[in-house]
Structure 1
């Protein structure tokens, strides 16, 4: 360690900081070349700095004994040993400058010279040369491949190197000198990397002939982006084949930015778009050293104004859709409501304290036509047995001896809907009872449904008591059309059921008109 520090101090003192490192395998040849140049009369002086021995003072016999040869600018060690390891210096006899060496002698391998190639490419391995005196020649090296095979070749060539070609290749070179052969071994490590994917620079946006919509007098920025491979690739803008300025003081200019070293953006900036800008074609151009240049052309166009014709058409379509929906609803609302009740099973579930769905009662028709007793019986039977309504009937559910007025009002109180049926002139409701019925309607908001005949029609003012007229105006109306209304699928039954609430329970059984007629 002390000797090495003195060696470094000596280097600094002479003003030379270059130190050459040499490594050699034991028992192999190594040559140190002094790089100092002088006149023909100047002698090269060699010194072993480790042992402080001046080699140029040795006699030829002593040099041979130590396996050393001093030949001009060269110090050749024919058979390197551990004793030769150390620091050496050389210089001209006038000591104007000196060169320095550090020699290391190894047993075994002396390290590897790296060589990297890419798969499927040409690859060449050369045996590292050694500078030797002019009168010392060398033979072609013998190569030992990773599989152990040997072959004498100046170089190893792979026309298309493969991954399995990688490994350590050892070259053996012989140096004939004064009738003797001296050897030197070098190891070359070949590393084969996967084939490099060739990258092509290209413009990624905008698209060719893309149109950008603008407003006159408004600013606009258009970005041209490119994937590039080399830092000296260039991306720029042209306006009608003329270069766009990069100076930001111009009304139209561009600037460039880099991202991650392989993405470039050239931004075309319009401070205020003019009508003249709309007449030009703008070109984003990419120039790359490794390939042909590429470009894309873009143009500017005014933004489209809103079309009032389209707005009007849309408005008409919306209105038509609303009208059609309203018409369809008006036409099919009865069928839809009944479908939900009959098919889906929408029946009333919440309890409202009522005992009956319907109170079926008669009112006197001032015309000669009403609903006869047979039709009334059929009406009651279909409501109860076919459609599942619970009825309160005056002649069935009122106890004998009970006051008529109290019995009627009790049925109204216990029913969800009152259905008034016209009859031919028969004993009928008195005016006082009608007034009480109207009062009950107003107080309890009981639902009213009037059944009229085609000849009865609407109840006209003056032809009926005032209380009945008020009830008629408050209720819904369904027209009985005789035999055409008998079928449960007729329009009469659909409209009547539509105005009635859903029954508490589904119908118990199906009945036929034949059964009713019996």
Structure 2
């Protein structure tokens, strides 16, 4: 059954281990304080001397044993193996418990506790460094007949005395240093030696406290009459760094009863301290808009940092909404106008340069069926013009054409052959001809019905000179076809590839489903065709 402290028998603290070099001084201090005016005695004893009371030793006995006992202090002047053992100090003959010490003497032969007399200290390069001599088990100040003669420093392996202060410490200053505390007692000199292990590390990166928000000259838009809170956040590295607000040159108070005040909060993350000073406006007024507000970071180890902000009256939300709406409508209108105005150029650019067009899989053999019609204005294309136009469509732009003269077999019924070509083509191109191709009104009507039924594209080319009289001169069936399809005006062979005629014709035709062959045209053919 365990017994807790405060019950009988009393709990004794664990003995304190004390290590001392042979021939050196060590002081044992009883932790129990005693009023100098009290009659209660503090008794020192040693277990190895049959619990002999050391407090009762005479001055001669103390000198013989190389000891000095005075109330709560027992000093071993020159330690030897004979001084090893357990010591205790007791108040009032044990009625109030005792404190115990186990003394071990470290000799050159044994070295039993040498590591306990070594102390470590770390400094950083390019910074000042002061070595501290341990004050472990040293005599108390004003001990009777014991006076301090100071401290001497040596570096292990060197005989010259060293200074314990380095204005700028470097890596080569690392090593073992010995500090010797010297004391005088009754004309004799006694020493206490400690070893300090100096470890010089690379200089730590300097961290600078700074305001991270807001930025200098920031403009904060506020609404009159509203409550506004403006946060100033700074990252600092000292608990003594402070963040506050200024209005002009005057510091803002932290009294929350004022119309304008600030409060501060801190958040610690590792070695960083994030401080936020919140400037609070209970009700924004016109006068508030005319002032400058400065966030101030007062740092201990660097100059102060300042960030000034300005307040501006925010525009009503509906004005901003109206402005955005007008901008969007204007942008859409401009986009529509540009598209309508340059629609053909945009489509042809995407088709020719970027290859952006739909892939058609309708199994039709031809891109277009080219067929002539009789122009009654005597302004139709000559046979040479027609061959040139067909050649450019096939060789320059890569269209696969169905031509009456080439693809209809001799002796085949014209009406059936024409309808078959329409069936196998994605579009029909009607070209005005100065000669009569022999298309009757019945065939034209059948062509119209076939186009409507199959929803095939029709491009109706009319001559420039016959453009004005076309409506009155064409037969009724031809007139019906012209109204069904897209009309393009022929302006002669001098038209270039960028002319309105070619742009409109290619725009109305579906894109060719085979690679363009313009690169195979001879220079002579090109000069005779497009200039």
Measured after TM superposition, the shift of residue 302 of structure 1 is 0.9
Answering whether residue 274 of structure 2 is matched by residue 276 of structure 1, we say: no
- Written as runs of structure 1 = structure 2, the 5 A alignment for 1:55-204 is 55=54, 67-68=65-66, 80-84=79-83, 85-89=85-89, 102=101, 104-108=103-107, 111-112=116-117, 114=119, 116=121, 118-119=123-124, 120-123=127-130, 130=139, 144-147=154-157, 149-151=158-160, 156-163=164-171, 164-169=173-178, 171=180, 173=182, 183-192=190-199, 194=201, 203-204=211-212
Q: Which residue of 1 aligns with 2:343?
A: 329
Larger Rg: 1
For the residue of structure 2 that corresponds to 1:150, the secondary structure is coil
Distance 2:347 2:69 in 1: 124
Distance 2:128 2:504 in 1: 92
For the residue of structure 2 that corresponds to 1:437, the secondary structure is helix
Aligned residues: 493
Quickly say closer, same or farther: Cα 1:427–1:188, change in 2 above 3 A.
Answer: closer
Which of 403, 408, 420 lines up with 1:397 in the alignment? Answer: 408
Distance 1:211 1:359 in 2: 70
Which of 219, 227, 230 lines up with 2:227 in the alignment? Answer: 219
8 Å CA contact 1:26–1:105 kept in 2: the answer is: no
Measured after TM superposition, the shift of residue 116 of structure 1 is 3.9
Q: 1:457-512 CA distances to partner (integer Å, 9 max, x unpaired)?
A: 35555644322221222233444556657x99987666555555556656687685
Which of 437, 442, 445 lines up with 1:435 in the alignment? Answer: 445
Q: Which residue of 2 aligns with 1:246?
A: 254
Measured after TM superposition, the shift of residue 368 of structure 1 is 4.9
Which of 306, 313, 319 lines up with 1:302 in the alignment? Answer: 313
Q: Between 51-60 and 272-281, report the one with greater CA deviation.
A: 51-60
Quickly say closer, same or farther: Cα 1:435–1:459, change in 2 above 3 A.
Answer: farther
Q: 1:423-477 CA distances to partner (integer Å, 9 max, x unpaired)?
A: 5575843333333333333333344344434443355556443222212222334
Measured after TM superposition, the shift of residue 121 of structure 1 is 1.8
Distance 1:345 1:280 in 2: 59
Distance 1:203 1:193 in 2: 33
8 Å CA contact 2:27–2:76 kept in 1: the answer is: yes
Quickly say closer, same or farther: Cα 1:125–1:489, change in 2 above 3 A.
Answer: closer
Which of 462, 465, 469 lines up with 1:452 in the alignment? Answer: 462
Measured after TM superposition, the shift of residue 214 of structure 1 is 0.6
Which of 264, 267, 272 lines up with 1:259 in the alignment? Answer: 267
8 Å CA contact 2:55–2:69 kept in 1: the answer is: no
8 Å CA contact 2:458–2:484 kept in 1: the answer is: yes
Q: 1:170-216 CA distances to partner (integer Å, 9 max, x unpaired)?
A: 538586758xx675442132434545777765544434454322111
Q: 1:28-62 CA distances to partner (integer Å, 9 max, x unpaired)?
A: 455678997879xx999865465233457668887
Quickly say closer, same or farther: Cα 1:29–1:273, change in 2 above 3 A.
Answer: closer
Distance 1:31 1:249 in 2: 61
Measured after TM superposition, the shift of residue 259 of structure 1 is 0.9
Quickly say closer, same or farther: Cα 1:444–1:252, change in 2 above 3 A.
Answer: same
Structure 1 unaligned regions, length at least 5: none
Q: Which residue of 1 aligns with 2:110?
A: none
8 Å CA contact 2:10–2:97 kept in 1: the answer is: no
- Written as runs of structure 1 = structure 2, the 5 A alignment for 1:308-327 is 319-320=333-334, 322-327=336-341
Distance 1:316 1:63 in 2: 108
Distance 2:205 2:358 in 1: 75
8 Å CA contact 1:78–1:182 kept in 2: the answer is: no
Measured after TM superposition, the shift of residue 324 of structure 1 is 4.0
For the residue of structure 1 that corresponds to 2:275, the secondary structure is strand
Distance 1:112 1:450 in 2: 111
For the residue of structure 1 that corresponds to 2:439, the secondary structure is coil
Quickly say closer, same or farther: Cα 1:78–1:462, change in 2 above 3 A.
Answer: closer
Distance 2:415 2:506 in 1: 28
Distance 1:376 1:203 in 2: 80
For the residue of structure 2 that corresponds to 1:258, the secondary structure is strand
Structure 2 unaligned regions, length at least 5: 108-112
8 Å CA contact 1:166–1:192 kept in 2: the answer is: yes
Quickly say closer, same or farther: Cα 1:250–1:460, change in 2 above 3 A.
Answer: same
Quickly say closer, same or farther: Cα 1:146–1:476, change in 2 above 3 A.
Answer: same
Distance 2:446 2:75 in 1: 143
